[in-house]
A = this chain, B = another copy of it.
Amino acid sequence: MAEGYRPRGMYFEEFTAETQVESQGRTITEADIVNFAGLSGDFNTIHTDAEFSKTTPFGERIAHGMLGLSVATGLANQLGFIDGTVIAFIGLEWKFKGVVKIGDTIHLAAKVKQTRAMKAMGGGFVVFDARVINQRGEIVQQGEWTVLMKSRT
């Protein structure tokens, strides 16, 4: 850590059934889709061909599901509550329930579903019930994230 920096993250013991967080919003732009296609290498026509996309049920290009999920993890990180105290992202169970279109604004809502001490690993698992929600209040992605958090001592 940079000298003087006080990480803001919560330790394993601080997470309870009451813990919940809500992130700021982020608008998913055409540029995000273009950049994500280039980064992931997924140039599927539903993301990159506007003419083809007119013929789909959505009528236009849609964001990669993984783009929405990636942005959600970034929004979580920006909240600072796992900053310096997260050891690892362990796994996830995830449903892509709806699409994110160009111009939609999404944010993350997450609450603790379960915690489990893992002393040998220096902390414990925290399982979050996580939802990605758009500007109309629709849940477009939803599932569980399991994260290994440091113990305070």
Partner of A71, one of B6, B41, B78, B90: B41
Q: Tell me the A residues contacting B by CB distance below 8 Å.
A: 1-8, 22-27, 29-32, 34-46, 48-52, 55, 61, 64-67, 69-71, 73-80, 82-84, 86, 88-96, 103, 105, 107, 109, 133, 135, 137, 143
Closest to A95 in B: B91
Interface secondary structure of A, over-half rule: mixed
**How many identical chains are in the complex?**
6
CB <8 Å contact, A69 and B71: no
Choose from B45, B86, B95 the contact partner of A1 (Cβ within 8 Å): B45
User: Could you pull out 17 A-B pairs where Cβ atoms are within 8 angstroms?
Assistant: A2-B23, A2-B24, A6-B22, A24-B45, A25-B45, A26-B43, A38-B38, A38-B39, A38-B41, A42-B78, A43-B77, A43-B78, A44-B77, A45-B83, A50-B103, A70-B70, A89-B96
